[in-house]
Amino acid sequence: MVSITKDATFKNYINNEWKESDSTKVLESISPMNKSEVVGHIQNSTLEDLDKAVQAAHNAKENWRKIGQHARGQILFKVANILESRIDDIAETMTREMGKTLPEAKGETARGVAILRYYAGEGVRKNGDVIPSSDNEALMFTKRVPIGVVGIVTPWNFPVAIPVWKLAPALVYGNTVVFKPATEAAVTAAKVIECFSEAGFPEGVLNFITGSGSIVGQGIIEHPQVNAITFTGSEAVGKVVSKSAAERGIKSQVEMGGKNPVIVAKDADLDKSVEAVISGAFRSTGQKCTATSKVIVEAAIYEAFKEKLVQETEKITVGNSLNEGIWMGPCASESQFNTVKSYIEIGKEEGAQLITGGEVLQGKEYDNGFYITPTIFANAKLDMRIVQEEIFGPVIALIEVADIQEAIQAANNTKYGLSASIFTSNIGSFLKFADEIEAGLVRINAESAGVELQAPFGGMKGSGVGSREQGEAAQEFYTEFKTILIKG
């Protein structure tokens, strides 16, 4: 087992061996709670390293397919047990590396275990259907088969859950993989891969390679022996993935950003809607793709909602996520921190009213971390950049509307369509919202963030292209059909 110590150097995992990059160079992963703390080093890999990883996956695919779904599921159960035994260490690494609070990091790692068990169970579930043939003496059926080598590229915001919800279905359905995590969370990802490596996959089935997005990430996307690509991350890179996959005629699944609305109707439960907006907007420092970022409030309840929201938001404790009692940690990286600060300035310039937060927390007790207090803008208008663009930080914009119809229009006034919520006690509004809202995840009296592993996950419009992730829906992406006819 690779040592689990702070500031260790993590290697690539290619053809069942931990290997240094040919470049002999490493990248640093630093803590957003103290930029002088190096959490670990990872390989700064080259295209030659990547080629070895893809070759290994390519050479392994025939045998892995032949092993069968049941046997593949059994190995995933082992990975789940190993990951479960390391929740504390992996969660602490995640907190140090990207700043999510320790309880959230533990919850996410436990979710990774549950996802593994779900897909391990797929080992014994059906992978096809019998379809009546027009010939009574023939048996016609479908069988799902693997695609081949799947390239996996992930972001830093869920460093355990996102890799696991791609790796586990890819593997159980019989694909081999080449996985590149986000550089900013690659140490956590390496620790997840240690769990996989100890479970006993055949050589070459699972390959892990770190390095820059523009070299290794782009290289995976363009490699001729990669047969499908699953990507989660920014819109800019997602578009490159879709385009490149389309040009090569291969499958791709791209999950991108969001600008997730919450509507608060005049008949909403005030306390519950305030609690849900705070949790949806500020947990994980607003860095969830499903985070609440615009709150659309009916005029009749606007002032009361605003007052209560500010009052509760000001109770949030911000600081080092390893400390007990801290509710919200830092932005995950310096670039994210700078982005959030710039949007706060943009909001002010655009004429939105900053009613709380927007402060950078500095000084000795904050160790040069990337801390910003939870920020609320009131009187926001639909054409403002803070209402249209994804900020990916602890910032929300309040928009006042006359009625539910206007609220739904305001909610849909975005290029994104990932998650959307409404708080109301009116059944007519439930139904209207469920029918008219343009979002892959539709939530009624529940916060915008929150995903269940057994249900389809993904967005409409600019938030996602390709079939859904998670639950049974994942099978669509990771398999192809054979339609088989047998005549006696």
Q: Which residues are catalytic?
A: 255, 289
Q: Which of 215, 205, 160, 161 is nearest to 46 (CA)?
A: 215
What CA–CA distance (Å, rounded) separates 177 from 18?
A: 16
CB 322 within 8 A of CB 33: yes
Residue 193 engages ligand NAP in binding (rule: CB under 6 A)? no
Instruction: Classify burial at 402, counting beta carbons within 10 Å of its beta carbon; exposed 0-12, middle 13-18, buried 19 or more.
Output: exposed
Q: Does 44 bind ligand NAP (CB under 6 A)?
A: no
Q: In angstroms, rounded to a whole number, what is the distance separating the alpha carbons of residues 482 and 244?
A: 26
Q: Considering the complex, state which of residue 201 and residue 392 has its C-beta at the smaller distance from ligand NAP.
A: 392
By the rule CB under 5 A, 92 interacts with Mg ion: no
Q: Is 285 in the site for ligand NAP (CB under 6 A)?
A: no
Nearer to ligand NAP, 154 or 197 (CB): 154
Question: Which are the contacts of 180, defined by CB distance < 8 A and separation ≥ 6?
Answer: 151, 152, 153, 154, 208, 209, 210, 211, 213, 216, 217, 220
How far apart CA 97 and CA 39 sit, in angstroms, is 6
In whole angstroms, the minimum distance from the beta carbon of 437 to ligand NAP comes to: 17
Find residue 292's DSSP bridge partners. 260
CA distance 266 to 262: 13
Q: Does 45 bind ligand NAP (CB under 6 A)?
A: no
212 binds, among Mg ion, ligand NAP, none (CB under 5 to 8 A by kind): ligand NAP
Instruction: Please report where in the chains the tokens 């997602």 appear, as a residue.
Output: 238
Q: Is 467 exposed, middle or buried (0-12, 13-18, 19+ CB in 10 A)?
A: middle
Helix runs in 234-298, H state only: 235-248, 270-282
CB of residue 244 vs ligand NAP: minimum separation in angstroms? 8
CB 267 within 8 A of CB 426: yes
In the set 184, 194, 400, 469, which binds Mg ion (CB under 5 A)?
184
**294, β-bridge pairs:** 261, 397
Is the Cβ of residue 184 or residue 469 nearer to Mg ion in the bound state? 184
72-75, long-range: CB < 8 A, 24+ apart: 72/123, 72/171, 72/172, 72/173, 72/174, 73/119, 73/120, 73/121, 73/122, 73/123, 73/124, 73/172, 74/120, 74/123, 75/171, 75/199, 75/200, 75/201
Q: Which does 163 bind (CB under 5 to 8 A by kind): Mg ion, ligand NAP, none?
A: none
According to the binding rule CB under 6 A, does residue 477 interact with ligand NAP? Answer: no
Site for ligand NAP in 148-177 (CB under 6 A): 153-157
**Does the footprint of ligand NAP cover residue 237 (CB under 6 A)?**
yes
Residue 234 contact, options ligand NAP, Mg ion, none, Cβ 5-8 Å cut-off depending on partner type: ligand NAP
**Interface with ligand NAP: number of residues (CB under 6 A):** 31
State the binding partner of 256 from Mg ion, ligand NAP, none, CB within 5 to 8 A by kind: ligand NAP
Q: How far is the CB of 323 from Mg ion (least distance, A)?
A: 18
Q: Which of 128, 213, 450, 456 binds ligand NAP (CB under 6 A)?
A: 213
Q: Which stretch binds Mg ion (CB under 5 A): 181-189, 263-271, 365-373, 375-383?
A: 181-189
Q: Which of 390, 396, 414, 419 binds ligand NAP (CB under 6 A)?
A: 390
Q: Which does 390 bind (CB under 5 to 8 A by kind): Mg ion, ligand NAP, none?
A: ligand NAP
Min separation Cβ 180 and ligand NAP, Å: 6
Which residues lie closer than 8 Å to 276 by C-beta, 6 or more apart? 262, 292, 421, 423, 446, 447
What six digits make up the tokens of 350? Answer: 């655009």
Decide if residue 475 touches ligand NAP (CB under 6 A).
Answer: no
Choose, by CB under 6 A, the member of 29, 95, 101, 218 that binds ligand NAP: 218
* Residues listed for the chain: 488
433 in Cβ contact with 263 (< 8 Å): yes
Q: What is the phi-psi region of residue 351: left when phi exceeds 0, alpha when psi lies from -120 to 50, beta otherwise?
A: left
User: Does residue number 122 form part of the binding site for ligand NAP (CB under 6 A)?
Assistant: no
Segment 97 to 156, residues that bind Mg ion, using CB under 5 A: 97
Any contact of residue 23 with ligand NAP (CB under 6 A)?
no
Residues within window 251-270 making contact with ligand NAP, judged by CB under 6 A: 255-258
Applying CB under 6 A, which of residues 221, 226, 301, 352 lies at the interface with ligand NAP? 221
Among the listed ranges 61-69, 141-149, 180-188, 380-388, the one in contact with Mg ion (CB under 5 A) is: 180-188
**DSSP single-letter state for residue 215:** I
Where along the sequence are the contacts to Mg ion (CB under 5 A)? Answer: 97, 184
Where along the sequence are the contacts to ligand NAP (CB under 6 A)? Answer: 153-157, 180-184, 212-214, 217-218, 221, 232-234, 237, 240, 255-258, 289, 390, 392, 418, 459, 463
